[in-house]
Structure 1
Amino acid sequence: MFTIPSPTIVNTSSRPLSETTIVRRKTRPVRVGHVTIGGGHPVVVQSMINEDTLDVEGSVAAIIRLHKIGCEIVRVTVPSLAHAKALSEIKQKLVETYLAVPLAADVHHNGMKIALEVAKYVEKVRINPGLYVFEKPKPNRTEYTHAEFDDIGEKIRETLEPLVVSLRDQGKAMRIGVNHGSLAERMLFTYGDTPEGMVESALEFIRICESLDFRNLVISLKASRVPVMLTAYRLMVQRMNELGMDYPLHLGVTEAGDGEYGRIKSTAGIGTLLADGIGDTIRVSLTEAPEKEIPVCYSILQALGLRKTMVEYVACPSCGRTLFNLEEVLHKVREATKHLTGLDIAVMGCIVNGPGEMADADYGYVGKQPGYISLYRGKEEIKKVPESQGVEELINLIKADDRWVDP
């Protein structure tokens, strides 16, 4: 194996330094059922059920649970032909009992027959270039010749073409999903275990699809290490810009783990790229129930101003000037208003930071003197009330503006 020098990555963000709104990379729209990825549409939230796809009833129930809490595309694993055929029943039951939820099927390991079958029932098929045509490693190999490299490339084309034609003719989509941990052996020999190898792996499959006039593609380059993931996506954008490609990107940090660190790790990777305008659909991969992933996705999008799906709470960190138990009051305000959509509510401990720091909020709850709080609408102070009545009066103010809905 020879070493490829690390490529120079250019700044892929088109946002001026003084711009406070994220300017997203322009991409082509890719339809996945009734959902559109890219093309200026809102960033799409995805997750994946962990039920065995052969369990039709369990899979249907899991898909519905995810969709009801905001998952817009649900992925299912399809490790065998039997699993692929089970998706026919799953799709039928969803349509009959609920909705035609857009489904993506995960196909691995010599998956042409599986992919062709499952393409009949789902809106998107995800393939992994490193596994779609399995290359049995040779333990004593020291290099790949150009002939060997090209021979495998031709085999990939022969295996991929029927799926591409099927999806193209049905108006369906494909995700070319490269994983850092499963690069094909010849890519590892040629480029090393590098982001460049990930990008070239994706480009090989993209070119095959384009040669067959199929461009309903979404691309992902996931890694479990955030720096690798960031570099891979940025390099992919750079290479697509050079080649005149405008495919939307699916972002994720694979195998992020669980708990607080899994959330921080996912946010560090996904949020960093989104802030630069890169990314059209996201999945937070947690070692927890899939339902736990959706709130993290929406929190990332909300924090960046890309989607407004919940109340945005602005609260100071508390200090010696704070005139009430800020943590307790914030909890009370949140519990009373968390079901609302699209509001900004500020809870500030004192007058020093209050009006200035919460200037962009719709409503403010500010400590002004011991035992009393002031309620604001925008920058305007509306009334001063006893602290014991603060949350109730905040609700009344929101109701008076006809912005309240019952939980």
Structure 2
Amino acid sequence: MQTLSTPLTSPVASRYSTDGTIHRRKTRPVAVGDVTIGGSNPVVVQSMINEDTLDIAGSVAGIRRLHEIGCEIVRVTVPSMAHAIALAEIKHKLIATYRPVPLVADVHHNGMKIALEVAKHVDKVRINPGLYVFEKPKSDRTEYTDSEFGDIGDKIRETLEPLVVSLRNQGKAMRIGVNHGSLAERMLFTYGDTPEGMVESALEFIHICESLNFHNLVISMKASRVPVMLAAYRLMAERMDALGMEYPLHLGVTEAGDGEYGRIKSTAGIATLLAEGLGDTIRVSLTEAPEKEIPVCYSILQALGLRKTMVEYVACPSCGRTLFNLEEVLHKVRDATNHLTGLDIAVMGCIVNGPGEMADADYGYVGKQAGYISLYRGREEIKRVPEANGVEELINLIKTDGRWVDP
């Protein structure tokens, strides 16, 4: 039986950070327009418009809406050559009426010609290995011979090479985006519907890119089931580490749904991996307006301490010791200060845990005696004020420190 003095030396225990910080996996920087994924750069937030790319005005407006609320890279779907050509006009109008926005084009079934056209107009092309060279499954197939497997591999290289060369010569990027639900038939026959099959599918495309001296790659291993998604990304990272590859990872749970559960499901997958140090860019996929995805992304990154995009509020859950209506006061404090990005503000109901739990906050608002509020700067109590004046006096304290800005 393990005692408290037994050192934690097992391989599982040693994988995790125990110093209170997240140690991100080392990755190579990959530029996508004026945004860089990987390296020492912050985790990048992405989303995807739901307008038809043939609707040029609608697409420009959708891209702009996302970018203005903090989406750093925007993806558009390109199912046909007409859509690819439309992207040239979309990019032109964005620059003319707004500014350049890093764009990614989604290319699917047998997409070489489409990809070659769209590569002229976007900063990154996303391909799905299971669909890029699409083979209609044979209902009577029982196996793939080595020869058949190799022949398809040769066809993939032949089809992928022109796109790789184009992106390489233009200094642009590619996302190799594997989806659990669309693995190629030969991968399913060889590895089953498994994370291993997903990883092998990605590696096949990575090796082709590397053989052509192209390394501006981002990898994703999405699944709609969180445990499968977690396993696929972890295995991908392990395999890349073993092969000396440092490609950044794009995290996401595909088809997460909508509402509270869609947000929880996405957070369960994305935040778990980020906490383990995996992930350089994220997208929360919701069956809602794309604009609804961005706040979830930033909340995940804020909660993990990976980006500071809003005020961090520390608040106790309330109990019988609480000396004021904690929920009501928290709303008042938030309404008055939520524009002060970068600050940590604690709202604590009593003195028992308050000062200790809020020790890392910039400012504290604590119920220390009935009818009065104690205001703190860090660990130092500054003054005690009547409860009715608490929020006003907190604002005055922030102003005194020169940290207030008008909303």
Given the two structures, how large is their TM-score scaled by the length of structure 1?
0.96
Residue range with higher mean Cα deviation, 174-183 or 370-379: 370-379
Residue 7 of structure 2 corresponds to which residue in structure 1? none
Q: 1:11 to 1:403 in 2, by over 3 A?
A: farther
SS in 1 for 2:193: coil
Structure 2 residue 24 is the aligned partner of structure 1 residue 29: no
The SS at the match of 2:376 is strand
Residue 374 of structure 1: aligned partner: 374
Q: Could you tell me which runs of 5 or more consecutive residues in structure 2 were left unpaired when the two chains were aligned.
A: 1-9
Identity, % of aligned pairs? 85
Paired residue type of 2:342: G
Counterparts of 1:186-225 in structure 2, within 5 Å, are 186-225=186-225
1:191 maps to amino acid: Y
| CA deviation profile, 1:195-221 (whole Å, cap 9, x unmatched) | 000000000000000011000000000
- Equivalent residue number for residue 277 of structure 1: 277
Deviation readout 1:111-133 (Å, 9 max, x if unpaired): 01110000000000000000001
Q: Which moves more between the two structures, 288-297 or 13-22?
A: 13-22
Distance 1:53 1:404 in 2: 43
How big is each residue's C-alpha offset from its partner over 1:343-386, in whole Å with a ceiling of 9 and x where there is no partner? Answer: 10000000111111100000000001111111100011111111
The equivalent of 1:94 in structure 2 is 94
What is the correspondence of 1:112-123 to structure 2 with a 5 Å cutoff? Answer: 112-123=112-123
The count of corresponding residues between Structure 1 and Structure 2 is 398
Structure-2 separation of matches of 1:188 and 1:321: 59
Q: CA deviation at 1:18?
A: 2.9
Maintained 8 Å contact 2:70/2:294: yes
| Other structure's SS at 1:352 match | coil
Q: Name the residue aligned to 1:350.
A: 350
SS of the residue 2:104 aligns to: strand
What residue number does 1:64 align with? 64
Instruction: Provide the C-alpha distance between the structure 1 equivalents of 2:98 and 2:255, rounded to a whole number of angstroms.
Output: 31
Give 1:14 shift: 7.5
Contact 2:250 2:281 in 1 (8 A): yes
Distance in 2 separating the partners of 1:75 and 1:107: 11
Determine the structure 2 residue equivalent to 1:81.
81
1:144 lines up with 2:110 in the alignment: no
Moved beyond 4 Å, runs of 4+: 10-17
| Structure-2 change in CA distance of 1:65 and 1:83 (3 Å) | same
Q: How does 1:2-401 map to 2 (within 5 A)?
A: 17-401=17-401
The Cα offsets for residues 139-164 of structure 1, whole Å up to 9 and x where unpaired, read as 01000111111111111111100000
How many Å separate the matches in 1 of 2:339 and 2:42?
A: 21
- 1:37 and 1:301 mapped to 2: Cα distance? 15
1:61-100 C-alpha deviation (Å, 9 max, x unpaired): 1111111111000000001100001100110011111111
1:172-194, Cα deviation, whole Å (9 max, x unpaired): 00000000000000000000000
CA distance in 2, matches of 1:339, 1:255: 32
Is 1:123–1:172's contact at 8 Å kept on the other side of the alignment? Answer: yes
User: What is the DSSP-based 3-state SS (H/G/I as helix, E as strand, rest coil) of the residue aligned with 2:84?
Assistant: helix
The alpha carbon displacement at 1:236 in A equals 0.3
Instruction: Give the SS at the match of 1:178.
Output: strand
**Aligned-residue offset at 1:388:** 1.2
Q: Secondary structure at the match of 2:347?
A: strand
The AA in structure 2 aligned to 1:137 is P
CA contact (8 A) 1:312 1:345 kept: yes
The one-letter amino acid of 1:359's match is A
Higher-RCO chain (CA-CA 8 Å, sequence separation at least 6): 1
Specify whether residues 134 and 176 from structure 1 end up closer, same or farther in structure 2 by C-alpha distance, changes over 3 A only. Answer: same
User: 1:339 Cα deviation (Å)?
Assistant: 1.1
Q: Contact 1:372 / 1:387 at 8 angstroms: preserved in 2?
A: yes
Unaligned runs of 5+ in 1: 1-9
Cα RMSD for the two superposed structures: 1.2
Indicate conservation of the 8 Å contact 2:129/2:177, yes or no: yes
